[in-house]
Amino acid sequence: MHLRDPRLFLPILLLLSACRPDPPVPPSPPVDPPIDTTGTDTTGTLRITLVPTWEGEPFERFTEYSNFMDYRVTVELLKMYFGDVRLIQGEDTLVVKDVDLFDLGDGNVSADWPVQTGSWTKLRAALGVPDTLNYADPANYGPGHPLNVSNATYWHWAIGYRYVMFEGRYDTDPESTEPLITAYAIHPGMGPSYVEFELLPTGGISIAEDEVTELVVQVAVDRFFHSDAYTIDLATENTAHGDNLPLQLKLVNNVIASFSVE
């Protein structure tokens, strides 16, 4: 053999190229259970936008408000999961999204979900994470996934997620001018606090091909403390970390009652 033999170039090139360092291997994609799209193409987008308000005005984190009991309150953390999101038309159900996370701390927040074209009367979901996902290994979910542990919603001392994270500070004295120090933290999860709700926009929900249909949901944060059914007195009801199920359920039901759609 002679190195200048051109016929050697191909095998040598083959050997060299085969032994180059491997390109970086991306981390495993997050495990996202398949979504039931009932066998049809997804050709439109449903955008859901949550608009947090306080007594009708834009809600702002860390702003001092007066709640229904005239307590001085701030809200410092507000996150919530929507699970098992479906569109409903009569007996027909379309699974839209298994789970998504909304962080309302910085105001309006949206999620875009691809769905098939069609018309639907309502959206049904639950406040929380479905059991099948709630008890899966969170290490399976990579960056960007709503169940990624970096979102700081996973309990970690137990399996499962905090369905709602509602935290802030309060003072029961409405006349006080002292800084708010006493904290409240109400975290439903780990119990039967996975509660379904429905959103029924007056005109229904129509998904058109290649178009974005936006469903705007007003979230009246001031109503988290009181609804027609439940009131939360922060003086005595200020902590739930998976325990204190009565308080968990009060908050979950008040949050759901605070939703309204345009």
Question: Residue numbers of the site for other proteins (CB under 8 A)?
Answer: 1, 5, 7-8, 10-11, 14-15, 17-19, 22, 24-25, 27-28, 137-140, 142-143, 148-150, 152, 154-159, 190-191, 242-243, 245
Question: What CA–CA distances, in Å, run from 159 to 77, 107, 119, 131, 241?
Answer: 21, 29, 38, 11, 13
Closest to other proteins by CB, 102 or 154: 154
Tell the smallest beta-carbon distance from residue 251 to other proteins (Å): 16
Q: How far apart (Å, rounded) are the C-alpha atoms in residues 200 and 262? A: 9
Closest distance of CB 15 from other proteins, Å = 5
The residue among 12 and 200 lying less far from other proteins, judged by its C-beta, is 12
C-beta of 8: minimal distance to other proteins in Å? 6
Quote the least distance from Cβ 112 to other proteins, whole Å. 24
Q: Which amino acid is at 212?
A: V
Rounded CA separation 197/84 (Å)? 11
Q: List Cβ<8 Å contacts ≥24 apart for 137-143.
A: 140/28, 140/30, 140/31, 141/30, 141/31, 142/27, 142/28, 142/29, 142/30
Cβ 143 to other proteins, closest distance in Å?
6
Indicate the residue among 83 and 138 with the shorter CB distance to other proteins: 138
> 10 or 181, CB closer to other proteins?
10
Of the candidates 208, 157, 217, the residue with the CA atom closest to the CA atom of residue 187: 157
Query: Using an 8 Å Cβ cutoff, are 66 and 174 in contact?
Result: yes
